[in-house]
Amino acid sequence: MSFKIAVLGGDCVGPEVTAEAQRVLVAVSKRFGHDFLFTEAPVGGAALDAVGVPLPDETLNLCRNSDAILFGSIGGPRWDDNSRFDLRPGQALLSLRESLGLFANLRPVKPYPLLADKSPVRPEVVRGTDIMVVRELTGDVYFGQPKKRWVTPEGRRAVDTMDYSEREIARIVRVACELARQRKKRLTSVDKSNALITYRLWKEVVIEVCAEYPDIELSHILADNFAMQIVSNPTRFDVVVTGNLFGDIFTDEASVLAGSIGLLPSASLAGLPTGRALGLYEPIHGSAPDIAGKGIANPIAAILSAALLLRYSLGLEKEARAVEHAVSATLGAGYRTADIASPGSTQVGTREMARQVIDRISTKED
Ligand code: NAD
């Protein structure tokens, strides 16, 4: 089958790990007889340097006309402090998500038992963790208006507005309920309803929508308690649904269960995962300027994001599993990038880690 894939590497380690994920997709296309047409486009700081805006129209149009988007990461010290807020790299991702209606961000957290020694959390606490975090992606303080900064007689002042509508909450909760149905049928909604009126509405709508899913066991947890439970008792969670800001923060926190932020992938979708809809796929990590250009970034989060792309946008489940199995097999053979290295393992760089995965896909050792 033939598919169009937009490749937006972005900044710092973004292009490094995205190139490896693309190579993995090429190996998949060869083994399974698909035709993937890749088109690269600038985004973030790279686009600011090239054409003066973080999301050029050409890049957005390419994304609109593709079957899926393979995304790296954007940002870096060169651009992040730009005094014009709309000219910061991060704006590109917000605009992309909003323009393409990508409101559902799926972030699976399933630590590899082989890497149990890499988490600061005790292995017996981490063992068995398998969480699907469903983060709302086009609302919350990231998008609420007004968003402004000004000078008062007392000094500088800035406002971000937290804003959620019933419609925005209901549609993300439906996605979470449908995913829970395919899993252990347990849904936890993370809110801050004791302090924020937006999260009061959130909780009400969660209860109303979940009434349509009597087979799902629903629980509510306050965000501060969740911040503690996610690392002290992670196996109690199955599907977790939460707002944009909490979802962002708590998945970085959850990455300590896995052992490195370089391991966690994500999918951003415009609705339920149907296997045939445009989606954006990116590691949950940022552009890691501290290790950029050194060839040591862990490409696994990007490669697993490519597996989600195969599953959720191209409907290629068998191929997605082949990639996931090849990653497990590579870790099983003892290959480790610096962030997950341990005594006795074979330490490799970004390129070699991906090459090991590709070898296992190509030789059907997955
Ligand atoms: P970060 O996620 O880039 O890095 C945090 C730490 O994790 C760093 O020590 C980094 O070296 C390490 N790390 C990240 N990815 C890794 C990988 N693949 N392998 C090994 N180690 C890895 O977060 P940050 O330092 O707070 O942000 C850096 C830049 O990234 C900022 O400009 C920020 O705005 C941007 N950012 C972009 C995105 C995105 O593109 N979606 C998300 C978050 C942050």
Which string of DSSP letters, residue by residue, matches 91-127? Answer: HHHHHHHHHTT--EEEEEE---GGGGGGSSS-HHHHT
Q: Give me ligand 1 centre to Cα 119, in Å.
A: 18
User: Does ligand 1 come within 6 angstroms of the Cβ of 56?
Assistant: no
User: Does ligand 1 come within 6 angstroms of the Cβ of 295?
Assistant: no
Q: Kindly tell me if the per-residue pLDDT of 366 is higher than 70.
A: no
Q: Which domains does the chain have, with CATH numbers?
A: 1-105+262-366 (3.40.718.10), 120-258 (3.40.718.10)
> pLDDT tens digits for 167-198?
999 999 999 999 999 999 999 999 999 999 99
Is the Cβ–Cβ distance between 266 and 284 less than 8 Å? yes
Query: Strand 186-191 to strand 346-347: parallel, antiparallel, or no bridges (unpaired)?
Result: unpaired
- pTM value > 0.85: yes
Can you tell me the distance from the alpha carbon of 323 to that of 325, in angstroms, rounded to the nearest whole number? 5
Q: Kindly tell me if the per-residue pLDDT of 365 is higher than 80.
A: no
Q: Kindly tell me if the per-residue pLDDT of 295 is higher than 90.
A: yes
Q: Give me ligand 1 centre to Cα 220, in Å.
A: 30
> pLDDT tens digits for 318-360?
999 999 999 999 999 999 999 999 999 999 999 999 999 999 9
Can you tell me the distance from the alpha carbon of 309 to that of 249, in angstroms, rounded to the nearest whole number? 23
When the pLDDT of each residue in the chain is averaged and rounded to a whole number, the result is 96
pLDDT, residue 85, reads: 80
> pLDDT tens digits for 66-99?
999 999 999 999 998 877 888 899 999 999 999 9
High-pLDDT (> 70) share of the chain, %: 99
Can you tell me the distance from the alpha carbon of 111 to that of 256, in angstroms, rounded to the nearest whole number? 9
Alpha-carbon Rg for the chain in angstroms: 20
